[in-house]
Amino acid sequence: MEGKQNMVKEQREDTGGSCGWEKTTDYREGEKGILEVQDVSAWYSGTLAIKHISMSIPAQAITAIIGPSGCGKSTFIRCLNRMHEVSHGGRVEGCILLDGRDIYARDIDPVAIRRRIGMVFQKPTPFPTMSIFDNVAAGLRLTRLWSRRWELEEVVERSLRQAALWDEVKDKLNQSGASLSGGQQQRLCIARALAVEPEIILLDEPCSALDPAATLKIEDLMRNLAEHYTLVIVTHNMQQAARVSDMAAFFLADSDRAGMLVECGKTSQLFTNPRDKRTEDYITGRFG
Amino acid sequence: MMTLERGYRRRRWLNRLMLALCGGAAGLAIIVLALILGYTLAHGISALSLDFLTQAARPVGEAGGGMRNEIIGTFILVLLGSALALPVGLMAGIFLAEFASPRVAAAVQFAADILAGVPSIVVGVFAYAILVRPMHSYSALSAGVALAIIMMPVVARTAEESLRLVPISMREAALALGITRWRSVVGVVVPGALTGIITGIMLAIARIAGETAPLIFTALGNNFSFQGILKPITALPLQIYRYAMSPYPEQNQQAWAGAFLLILLVLGISILVRWISGRKQV
């Protein structure tokens, strides 16, 4: 981990600090969905929210972002698929390489990035005017001029199965998405994100509005998804991070109230043998 | 003890008095509506018949005749006004709610509110100046434009307000799927606000259906059936105005019947609006 970061740093110095278009990491052949975050800072209309974050997010693994409230976890994850700039006054500096290409490069369309990097939000957000079927199909329908019905049916069934929701809803696909329970709604949102076949899925505290049983289901689901997708999950639940993630990054608000990365590494290492005193204090429950 | 008892009694009576006053005021509003409905019905009932709806107006002295042409005229004018105002109003509403920066939005909102407050006779004179004069003819088109000018800001503002009620999380959820801004507005946000938007449109239609002043300068009115949008056209409010001023009692009666019909029309739209907005809230 450390070596990798150093390498990235050297590369940045080589190119004079600017973000190159070329590969900057030696990612393995065939692996897709690697994110390389380089010196990212983000603002909300003049207020610095996170500063100088550099880390790499490995493919086909779950990376957990942990930290107390207000440390910029959500802001950070929203930078990863260019959702931060959607909010009023949102601004991002630095660069984020997706498989070696900067997603903030001038000629990159944020819409194309969001197609490859899906997102699931804290509160389940099924489209209330759409049926369960239409919710899952929305990503395809609204990015094309028209779609064949059988093609949509195929995608909807596949996505719902992947999200472990198919058996519960297969007989009521025409009902409103809002008629489902909270946990089902969240899995519906995951299915909706999967339907457009992203490489990476960002989950912003996906379980914080759910009960323990529903949480467990989502966690199981995440483990299964990690076999094919790169997952980044924001959570303030440390047990959850310890249970599901492979990598973990600990964020903390600095004295200027901007979030910064304290340390990141393998989850097992971060939880059992943290390098930083503040990480240790946080995971042992001394604050936060 | 005694004074407390008296004070309490006084307060109780005051309470009842205020309650009665408020109830009376509320009742008055309903009574006025009932009176208008009843009065127009009582005066117009003798002229109300199937013939009234299906026959054209007849010259003075001839019995019978109805307001078929006026009903058709009002329908055509509302259609014309809506066809002109809805695209502009809805697009403006979408722009205000979804795309305008706060400063631009504030300016446009202010302008729309002023436009909505312009007296309708001024709008009529304006349409007269820009269309009737250059074209040398009163026309259905110029009336449609005048009605559209009245309708547009109402539609824009109600559409904007309905769109703003759709939670930001819905927009973000759509964007996070890799959907473009425009498609997410059309596919997710507008459907979510549809009830409110339709309510606004219906209320705007009810408003322009009863407008009279702008029609005097533009539609002018005629005694014939529809003759094309570049020719004068008649409408319910216009005919009510003309018949009500007429010295002939039969025409006065027809004016009452027409007024009753117009009220029923607007009332019907209002009831429809209540039904739509009460049916499904998102």
In the predicted structure, residue B276 carries a pLDDT above the cut 90: no
Q: What is the mean pLDDT of residues B160-176?
A: 94
Cβ atoms of residues B77 and B143 within 8 Å: yes
Split at pLDDT 50, 70, 90, the class of A134 is very high
Cβ atoms of residues A219 and A207 within 8 Å: yes
Contact A128 B173 (CB under 8 A): no
Min Cα separation A4/chain B (Å): 29
Contact B183 A143 (CB under 8 A): yes
Residues B16, B94 within the same domain: no
- How many structural domains are present in chain B? 2
The confidence score (pLDDT) of residue A201 equals 94
Domain with B270 in it: what CATH number? 1.10.3720.10
Min Cα separation A233/chain B (Å): 15
Min Cα separation A242/chain B (Å): 27
Residues B9, B100 within the same domain: no
Contact A138 B187 (CB under 8 A): yes
B32 near A CB under 8 A? no
Split at pLDDT 50, 70, 90, the class of B65 is confident
3-state secondary structure of A48: strand
Residue of chain A with shortest Cα separation from B282: A128
In the predicted structure, residue B143 carries a pLDDT above the cut 70: yes
Residues B131, B219 within the same domain: yes
Residues B32, B170 within the same domain: no
B104 near A CB under 8 A? no
Contact B177 A83 (CB under 8 A): no
Query: What DSSP element (H or E) covers B58?
Result: none
Residues B204, B103 within the same domain: yes
Nearest to A143 among B176, B178, B282 (CB): B178
Residue closest to A233 by CA, chosen among A90, A67, A46, A7: A67
Residues B173, B271 within the same domain: yes
The confidence score (pLDDT) of residue B120 equals 93
Q: What is the mean pLDDT of residues B25-43?
A: 91
Tell me which residues of chain A have a C-beta less than 8 Å from any C-beta of chain B.
Answer: 81, 83, 86, 111-116, 118-119, 121, 123, 125, 127-130, 138-139, 141-143, 189, 192-193, 196, 198
What letters, b where the CB count within 10 A reaches 16 and e where it falls short, cover B245-254?
eeeeebbbbb
**DSSP count for chain A of H helices, then E strands:** 11, 10
Residues B34, B61 within the same domain: no
Nearest to B192 among A128, A138, A141 (CB): A128
Q: What percent of chain B has pLDDT over 70?
A: 97
CB contacts of A159 in chain B (<8 Å) are none
Contact A196 B180 (CB under 8 A): no
Residues of B (176-235) whose Cβ lies below 8 Å from A:
176-180, 183-184, 187-188, 191-192, 194
Residues of B (159-178) whose Cβ lies below 8 Å from A:
169-178
In the predicted structure, residue A189 carries a pLDDT above the cut 60: yes
Split at pLDDT 50, 70, 90, the class of B121 is very high
Which domains does chain A carry?
A: 2-283 (3.40.50.300)
Q: What is the mean pLDDT of residues A199-220?
A: 91
The confidence score (pLDDT) of residue A20 equals 38
The confidence score (pLDDT) of residue A88 equals 83
Q: Return d(Cα A39, Cα A94) in angstroms, integer.
A: 5
Q: What does the pLDDT look like over A17-60, one tens digit per residue?
A: 344 333 444 444 455 668 899 999 999 988 999 999 999 999 99
Residues B34, B58 within the same domain: no
Split at pLDDT 50, 70, 90, the class of B237 is very high
Cβ atoms of residues A55 and A25 within 8 Å: no
Sheet of A259-266: strand order equals A101-102, A90-98, A35-44, A47-57, A259-266, A247-253, A62-66, A230-234, A200-204, A117-120
In a mutational test of the A interface, the residue from B99, B179, B180, B181 whose CB has the highest number of chain A CBs within 10 Å is: B179
CB contacts of A113 in chain B (<8 Å) are 178
Contact A114 B178 (CB under 8 A): yes
Contact A121 B180 (CB under 8 A): no
Cβ atoms of residues A118 and A81 within 8 Å: yes
Q: Return d(Cα B234, Cα B216) in angstroms, integer.
A: 10
Length of chain A equals 288
Nearest to B169 among A115, A123, A196 (CB): A123
The confidence score (pLDDT) of residue B280 equals 56
In the predicted structure, residue B123 carries a pLDDT above the cut 90: yes
CB contacts of A116 in chain B (<8 Å) are 178
pTM of the predicted model, to two decimals? 0.81
Min Cα separation A96/chain B (Å): 17
CB contacts of A112 in chain B (<8 Å) are 178
In the predicted structure, residue B229 carries a pLDDT above the cut 90: no
Residues B39, B155 within the same domain: no
Torsion of CA A5, A10, A14, A17, to 10 degrees: 50
User: What is the average pLDDT score of chain B?
Assistant: 90
The confidence score (pLDDT) of residue B4 equals 66
The confidence score (pLDDT) of residue A285 equals 81
Provide the domain limits for residue B104: 53-279
Q: Return d(Cα B232, Cα B35) in angstroms, integer.
A: 34
Number of CB pairs < 8 Å for A and B?
Answer: 76
CB contacts of B183 in chain A (<8 Å) are 142-143
Residue closest to B179 by CA, chosen among A110, A8, A257: A110
Residues B28, B161 within the same domain: no
Q: What percent of chain A has pLDDT over 90?
A: 60
In a mutational test of the B interface, the residue from A74, A109, A125 whose CB has the highest number of chain B CBs within 10 Å is: A125
Residue A173 corresponds to which tokens in the numbers above? 């696909």
CA atoms within 13 A on the CB side of B26: 6
Residue closest to A90 by CA, chosen among A57, A39, A37, A50: A50
Residues B75, B22 within the same domain: no
Residues B58, B141 within the same domain: yes
Q: What is the mean pLDDT of residues B8-37?
A: 93
Nearest to A111 among B172, B178, B282 (CB): B178
Nearest to A83 among B176, B187, B192 (CB): B176
In a mutational test of the B interface, the residue from A88, A113, A127, A196 whose CB has the highest number of chain B CBs within 10 Å is: A127
User: What is the average pLDDT score of chain A?
Assistant: 86
Min Cα separation B184/chain A (Å): 7
Min Cα separation A109/chain B (Å): 10
Residue of chain B with shortest Cα separation from A78: B176
In a mutational test of the A interface, the residue from B103, B164, B177 whose CB has the highest number of chain A CBs within 10 Å is: B177
